[in-house]
A and B are shown apart, each in its own frame.
Chain A
Amino acid sequence: MNQVAAVTGRSLKEFVRERMVIFWTYAVPLFFLAVLPVMYSGVPGDIVPGLKGGLTITMATFLVMTAGQSTLPGSVAMDRERGLYLKMASMPVNPWKEGAGRVLAVWAFSAMGASLVLVSGTLYGGRFECGMTEVLMAAGFSFLTAVASVGVGLIIASLVKGESAATHTGVALTLLTYFLGGMALPYLNLPLVLRYFARLHPIPSANAMMISLLEGEAYVGYDPLNTAQVVLTVSSSILILLVGLTLYSRLCWRKD
């Protein structure tokens, strides 16, 4: 456990001490949260708080995606470029434990940012109509977005070697998921093929589940909380994380 804790502590310190990481991970969703409600000008006033609530949840998910899919691979690639893996490979370090430490750090970093987004969204007029059960279930689905995001991040980190390339790949995937997965546009406005994408991809799917729980199905455009979709979202999130960790422990630590 000491190895896991050491890596978590080190990674978290590096994230919070790097201004650019803080800015790009935290500031972009907060900026969208402040700006996007401009689109609600022609919308009946009684549904605006619900829309703002839904946007707040989506921006929290966006932040979690950015941290997992872009910040994490960027930090892995930076450590690779500076020879940290070479150093660790000469020490009795278990790659799985080291990877787990990184994952925990990203989750902690994401949780801090997502909390900030939720507080900001609430102060900005977002309304959540739900009970404690729904909140706990939504927290569980939020965790799934973090699980899938770091899984994707670890896959990127394993396959893309340079820091800049890894970070940009992560940003591109985050934006693609956001725009194509029904997080930026209403589900019912999506073409049929993207509706499948929105249901099959665990991150937009879990995001829809959270909005459905905390705001109501009407704010999503379909019922995401059916058994098949929940099972698929849970299992695919875990699978992506396992694939990510396996690739990471093999490719990032590979001896030539």
Chain B
Amino acid sequence: MMTSAIVVEGLFKSYGNLDVLRGVDLDIKRGEFYALMGQNGSGKTTLISIMACTSQPTRGSARIYGFDVVSKSKEVKRLIGYVPQENFSCSKLTGRENLVYFARLFGLPRREAEELTAGLLDKMGLADDADRRVSEYSGGIRKRLEVATALLPGTDVLFLDEPTTGLDPSARKSFLGTVKGINECGTTVFLVTHIGEDAEVASRVGFIDGGRIVVEGEPEELKERSGLKNVIEVETAFKSEEVAFLLGPFNEEGKPREMEEGYRIFCEGPEEVAPRIVRALDGIGCQVKGLKTRAPSLEDVFFRATRKTLRG
């Protein structure tokens, strides 16, 4: 019995002289929740758009439930639900009208579409907002509606392209909980993101860099394999070459990773290292505005694996 939902083999995609995908291989099992992490421009949207039949590969193949996305796209389109990055729902229509519209695009008669929609609105927690226009929705509710359109009329594989971009932390958490619930009901989920917290809910994570999958594994396994022990985030009064040079010896990898308001340091024994960092910075007149120790995240693991930051 075939257990793979998505199989990608030697996938290449080029735009002119620019190679966006350079030999991607993937095997995602049915019912799996797979998150693909990568920087902007790493090829993740190109990959998801090929699997969602909205773009064509230059070379290689992608199959959904055994159907090739190019030669059997008609069959594939009946199995998948795709939520692109953009807010595609019609803002002048209500949530219910949007869902009925997308259901009818599958060829369903009006009454059947309305019945299906009513059930889906309940399932997605949208029943109270169903008859308001989408233009009045918050970003989180709108995204949930758009996921609902991707579940019509009974999707086996759900593709989500950076769905939490622009959502506040609580809306993001609630949204990811909804997606996790959909996955637990048996739908295979393929999520593309550049936000580490989003990938934490997945059962398996892949890192894409330069058009190739460079690392794959379960979130905890990846953290363990990375060898990272602890992370210290230091918020400094200013950032400079001198500060970075000073912090280098405390960081396992030499020069520390720069953040928006300070530096990130990978180290062992943070209880011992943290006071030394404060003293060293004090010595050059750089005030420490904040310092916190935490366990490594998937973003840290990504940085360790690719030497690149996910955001910015």
Q: In the complex the two chains form, what is the Cα distance from A93 to B73 in whole Å?
A: 11
With contact pairs A14-B90, A83-B86 given, residues A91 and B105 touching in the complex (Cβ less than 8 Å): yes
Q: In the complex the two chains form, what is the Cα distance from A17 to B135 in whole Å?
A: 12
- CB of B88 within 8 A of CB of A87, answer yes
A237-256 toward B: CB 8 Å interface, digit per residue (1/0)? Answer: 00000000000000000011
- CB of B74 within 8 A of CB of A92, answer yes
Counting CB contacts under 8 A, is A28 at the interface?
no
Please give the number of chain A residues whose Cβ is less than 8 angstroms from any Cβ of chain B in the complex: 25
- CB of B93 within 8 A of CB of A10, answer yes
- CB of A90 within 8 A of CB of B80, answer yes
With contact pairs A13-B93, A90-B77 given, residues A255 and B101 touching in the complex (Cβ less than 8 Å): no
A1-30 toward B: CB 8 Å interface, digit per residue (1/0)? Answer: 011011101100110011000000000000
Q: In the complex the two chains form, what is the Cα distance from A9 to B100 in whole Å?
A: 11
- CB of B53 within 8 A of CB of A3, answer no
Binds A, one of B106-114, B115-123, B229-237: B106-114
Shortest distance from the beta carbon of B264 to any chain A beta carbon, whole Å: 34
Counting CB contacts under 8 A, is B82 at the interface?
yes
With contact pairs A13-B93, A86-B84, A256-B15 given, residues A2 and B104 touching in the complex (Cβ less than 8 Å): yes
Chain B residues lying within 8 Å of A18, measured Cβ to Cβ, are 92
A183-209 toward B: CB 8 Å interface, digit per residue (1/0)? Answer: 000000000000000000000000000
Q: In the complex the two chains form, what is the Cα distance from A89 to B76 in whole Å?
A: 12
- CB of B87 within 8 A of CB of A82, answer yes
Q: In the complex the two chains form, what is the Cα distance from A86 to B52 in whole Å?
A: 9
- CB of A89 within 8 A of CB of B54, answer yes
- CB of A92 within 8 A of CB of B77, answer yes
- CB of B101 within 8 A of CB of A6, answer yes
Counting CB contacts under 8 A, is A84 at the interface?
yes
Q: In the complex the two chains form, what is the Cα distance from A10 to B77 in whole Å?
A: 22
- CB of A255 within 8 A of CB of B56, answer yes
Q: In the complex the two chains form, what is the Cα distance from A89 to B104 in whole Å?
A: 15
Question: Can you name 4 extra interface pairs (CB under 8 A) apart from A10-B90, A90-B52?
Answer: A9-B101, A14-B90, A90-B159, A91-B77
6 tightest A-B contacts by CB?
A: A83-B86, A6-B104, A90-B82, A83-B88, A17-B92, A90-B52
